[in-house]
Structure 1
Amino acid sequence: MAPKFESAELPPYRAIMVVDMKNFSGEKGRDHARITESIPMILRNAFHRCGCAQLWSESRFHGTTGDGYFAGFDTRWTPFLLNPVLSALQDELEYQNRVHGGESAMRMRVSLTAGPVTDSGENWMSDGSGDTRIEAHRMIDSDDARAVLADSSGATCVAGIVSEQVYRDVVLSGYSGEDPGLYVEVGVKVKTFEGKAYLRVPKPSGDILRRGLTRHADAVEAADGAPSATAKDERSRAAPTYVGVETAQGSVGTVVTGEGNTVNSGGGNQFNGVGITGTGPTVLGTNRGPASSEE
């Protein structure tokens, strides 16, 4: 290993595409091997479908992630990975689901970025290593990318997300031949990675047609149906606080009363900073606690 502060040769720039199958963990274990083997076949078919067979055959490196796949390409091919490959993947998944669909349709998240990664030219196990590869995996795991498939119907088979660099160099510069308005900016914060990315959905459906491609974090659910960490944080901060309440029933958060108030807590706790006398607003059913009391 080279010393920490010694210069090292910069690896070549490559376009990195990562795909991830939605709800892979929800499938029966006996089907996992079949699904894992089908993913590169579906990708190859999509490249062939749109006339990019040579591009697929010339991938620099590739490999499985179990519930997904990754592949590296010469950066000159990056525009084609967006257009027409992304839409062709939507078409191929629609076809596969129509012909071979079982209880659940196959749907994929796809991330695309570009940058320096290792490339031996022989598809070694370590090829594709580098911060660029990490960025691709963090983007595909982002709340907004997951929310696209969670909020759409089975008609939406592909949720694409691309890095800020790819959006700037390929989309805004016109190389992908697409209207930049087809992309929606989102923030990505996964583990220690934080950055900007852009969603691209070839065939929107369901709730995303009504609300757009992004939603508030407290509504986002992970692929396994569990709320995301962001959602949990948001909900924990959303506990209600009632100040100067006339009447409140049910489960409430914090009740702050002024002087001269009557508090009937039911099964709740009281925290009174001053003596309470006379009559005043009534608050019923505050937080959990022992038997009711009145002062």
Structure 2
Amino acid sequence: MDPTFQSAELPPYRAIMVVDMKNFSGEKGRDHARITESIPMILGNAFHRCGCAQLWSESRFHGTTGDGYFVGFDTRWTPFLLNPVLSALQDELEYQNRVHGGDGPIRMRVSLTAGPMTDSGLNSLSDGSGDTRIEAHRMLDGKAVRAALADSSSATCVAAIVSEQVYRDVVLSGYSGDDPGLYVDVGVEVKTYEGKAYLRVPKPSGDVLRSGLTGPGDAAEAPGEAAPPATPPAEAQGERSRAAPRYVGVETAQGSVGTVVTGEGNTVNSGGGNQFNGVEITGTGPTVLGTNRGPAPSEE
């Protein structure tokens, strides 16, 4: 029998948090090792900062991605990864940037999801394997969460993206204590992965603060600007012109044959006189005289 169609034991459900440092490739190569080593330290500090030190110490598996880090947890801790950890990470990064400075502020994207993943209990190299792990990394590479940082000022140090399942099971159910209005739904399309997720920015700034979070492809009007009116099809324009011509009439007549002014596109037989086909005239409009031009008649 084809082993593909044989049942296999389902790995335990775990929550996984993945972080990625913005603009890591823009840092000097000589600093990469130092930055890579500092990322788990910053994460640990954030957990301690908000009273979740035990949660950090009980992580199931963890490891570096070079410019980021991943950590697996028992799913019962998932609510705390949203609240208070995300806000604590924002605070910790603000502190690190203020105290240590450097060439640029440290800013991070964070993804959070949950599902079946391998877990030996020994933090082995294969721990955390499975489709759930792939989902976490794909969400982290999505356009929406990248734009959330790019459209913010350096005051925004954290932009998080949460899977639909976590949002439904943890946020909507009330376990995280977060107002669901703090999350904005977006689409994620990276490589072969396609799904729905939710953005969460603990401290919005810049364009995100002014215009709010929008998913890729969302058409947001600029503040104070209205969308231009739609142009009616040519057939409708023709019917409107036939039904109610904008202007047709004689403005001034001199002698036996005068000047005829028509709306744009109209045709009038003026006999042997002068014909002028002009643009629409509104209000009193200008006076158009015949070939034998004389003084314009006074307005009453």
TM-superposed deviation, 1:217: 4.8
1:39 aligns to 2:39 (yes or no) = yes
Find the counterpart in structure 2 of residue 18 from structure 1.
18
Q: Distance in 2 between matches of 1:105 and 1:73?
A: 28
Q: Which residue of 2 aligns with 1:210?
A: 210
CA RMSD of aligned residues (A): 1.7
Pairwise mapping of residues 118-137 of structure 1 onto structure 2 (< 5 A)?
118-137=118-137
Q: Residue 157 of structure 1 corresponds to which residue in structure 2?
A: 157
TM-score by length of 2: 0.71
Q: Post-superposition shift, 1:215?
A: 5.5
In the alignment of these two chains, the number of paired residues is 220
- In structure 2, distance between residues paired with 1:215 and 1:188: 9
| 1:101 Cα deviation after fit | 1.3
Using the alignment, how far apart are the partners of 2:58 and 2:87 within structure 1?
A: 20
User: Is 2:180 the partner of 1:186?
Assistant: no
Deviations 1:69-116 (A, max 9, x none): 000000000000000000000000000000001121000000000000
Give 1:20 shift.
0.2
Are the equivalent residues in 2 in contact too, given 1:147–1:214 (CA < 8 A)? no
Q: 2:197 corresponds to which residue?
A: 197
Q: What secondary structure, in the 3-state scheme, does the structure 2 residue paired with 1:93 have?
A: helix
Distance of 2:215 and 2:9 partners within structure 1? 42
1:118: how far off? 0.1
CA contact under 8 A between 1:171 and 1:178: conserved in structure 2? Answer: yes
Q: Counterpart in 1 of 2:28?
A: 28
Task: Report the alpha carbon displacement of residue 218 of structure 1 after superposing the two structures with TM.
Answer: 10
Corresponding residue number in structure 1 for 2:169: 169
Q: What residue in structure 1 maps to residue 82 of structure 2? A: 82
Change (3 A) 1:216 1:71: closer
Secondary structure of the residue aligned to 2:105 is: coil
Q: Which runs of 5+ in 2 are unaligned?
A: 220-233, 235-300
Tell me how far apart the structure 2 counterparts of residues 15 and 215 of structure 1 sit (CA, whole Å): 24
Give the letter for the 1:14 counterpart: R
Supply the distance in 1 between the matched residues of 2:125 and 2:103 (Cα, whole angstroms). Answer: 35
Q: Which has the larger radius of gyration?
A: 2
- For residue 150 of structure 1, report the CA deviation from its aligned partner: 0.4
Instruction: Give the Cα–Cα distance (whole angstroms) in 1 for the partners of residues 34 and 77 of structure 2.
Output: 30
Q: Which amino acid aligns with 1:19?
A: V
- Alpha-carbon distance in structure 1 between the residues aligned to 2:52 and 2:60: 15
The correspondence of residues 1-295 of structure 1 with structure 2, limited to 5 A, is 3-214=3-214, 216-217=216-217
1:103 partner amino acid: D
CA contact 1:62–1:69 (8 Å) conserved in 2: yes
Matched letter for residue 75 of structure 1? T
Any idea what the Cα deviations from partners look like across 1:241-294, whole Å, max 9, x if unmatched? xxx9xxxxxxxxxxxxxxxxxxxxxxxxxxxxxxxxxxxxxxxxxxxxxxxxxx
CA distance in 2, matches of 1:214, 1:104: 26
Runs of 5+ unmatched residues, structure 1: 220-243, 245-295
Name the TM-score, length of structure 1 as normaliser: 0.73
**Contact kept? 2:40, 2:69, Cα under 8 Å:** yes
Q: In the alignment, which residue of structure 1 is the partner of 2:296?
A: none
Instruction: Tell me the SS of whatever aligns to 2:94.
Output: helix
Alpha-carbon distance in structure 2 between the residues aligned to 1:64 and 1:127 = 13
Runs (4+) of structure 1 moved beyond 2 Å? Answer: 215-219
Q: Percent identity?
A: 86
